[in-house]
Chains A and B, each alone.
Chain A
Amino acid sequence: DGGITQSPKYLFRKEGQNVTLSCEQNLNHDAMYWYRQDPGQGLRLIYYSQIVNDFQKGDIAEGYSVSREKKESFPLTVTSAQKNPTAFYLCASSGKGGRNTEAFFGQGTRLTVV
């Protein structure tokens, strides 16, 4: 699991409600990422951050927001604008690059709309 903690493990959202998924890492990694996983679609990038106080949209950023106020933390908010939020959400982090270039993943949060 590489020192990345995602919480909660399961989350239920009502229609029209915003929810925030937590991601914390103690690996001293500069970069952090949020991916969404749906059956048969692999992992799709939502947002990523390469340094504190900066982040970039990924392929499917609409309906999501993030912040990166601390190096260790990269929370993801699923807003009411996200029309189909039911999915498995994965947070990852990686170091400065070069040979230490693989990403390490948390255990995931399964979000369900009720």
Chain B
Amino acid sequence: AQSVAQPEDQVNVAEGNPLTVKCTYSVSGNPYLFWYVQYPNRGLQFLLKYITGDNLVKGSYGFEAEFNKSQTSFHLKKPSALVSDSALYFCAVRPPSGNTPLVFGKGTRLSVIA
């Protein structure tokens, strides 16, 4: 069975500093990996995905994520945080076979302080 761990419930960062939100996964075979962002009382917005190819994936709003197969990690990064990046971030995984549901981590709340 696949699973996702987001080890930090909360990440605080100063505006303008780089940010990292951590994610590790467990899945049989090569995974499909995703990051989503959620603002209060809203649905999830897709940020980026890793399917295959380059380990560094670039997504929306200046976010990127690095796939590391040996460490089974897919950490979300941004070089310079904005106050508007403050939100709840979810990592998700699915196996490559079929159209199976995404399995989500518990989420990490990012707070960017001006």
Q: Are A106 and B43 in contact (CB under 8 A)?
A: yes
Q: Are B106 and A105 in contact (CB under 8 A)?
A: no
Q: Are A94 and B106 in contact (CB under 8 A)?
A: no
Number of B residues, CB within 8 Å of A: 23
Given the complex, which residues of A lie within 8 Å of B101, measured CB to CB? 31, 33, 45, 48, 58, 103
Nearest Cβ distance between residue B27 and chain A, in whole angstroms? 14
Interface residues of B in 68-114 (CB under 8 A from A): 90, 94, 98-99, 101-107
Q: Are B41 and A110 in contact (CB under 8 A)?
A: yes
Number of A residues, CB within 8 Å of B: 33
Nearest Cβ distance between residue A76 and chain B, in whole angstroms? 14
The interface bits of chain A over 72-96 (1 if a CB of B lies within 8 angstroms of the residue's CB, else 0) are 0000000000000000101010111
Alpha-carbon separation in the docked complex, A41 to B107 (Å): 8
Q: Are B105 and A42 in contact (CB under 8 A)?
A: yes
Q: Are B99 and A31 in contact (CB under 8 A)?
A: yes
Given the complex, which residues of B lie within 8 Å of A48, measured CB to CB? 101
Q: Are A108 and B107 in contact (CB under 8 A)?
A: no
Q: Are A42 and B106 in contact (CB under 8 A)?
A: yes
Given the complex, which residues of B lie within 8 Å of A94, measured CB to CB? 99
Given the complex, which residues of B lie within 8 Å of A35, measured CB to CB? 104
Q: Are B90 and A43 in contact (CB under 8 A)?
A: yes
Given the complex, which residues of B lie within 8 Å of A69, measured CB to CB? none
Q: Are B44 and A41 in contact (CB under 8 A)?
A: no
The interface bits of chain B over 13-41 (1 if a CB of A lies within 8 angstroms of the residue's CB, else 0) are 00000000000000000001010100001
Q: Are A42 and B90 in contact (CB under 8 A)?
A: yes
Q: Are A103 and B42 in contact (CB under 8 A)?
A: no
Q: Are B102 and A103 in contact (CB under 8 A)?
A: yes
CB-CB nearest 6 A-B residue pairs? A105-B43, A42-B106, A43-B104, A105-B44, A31-B99, A97-B99
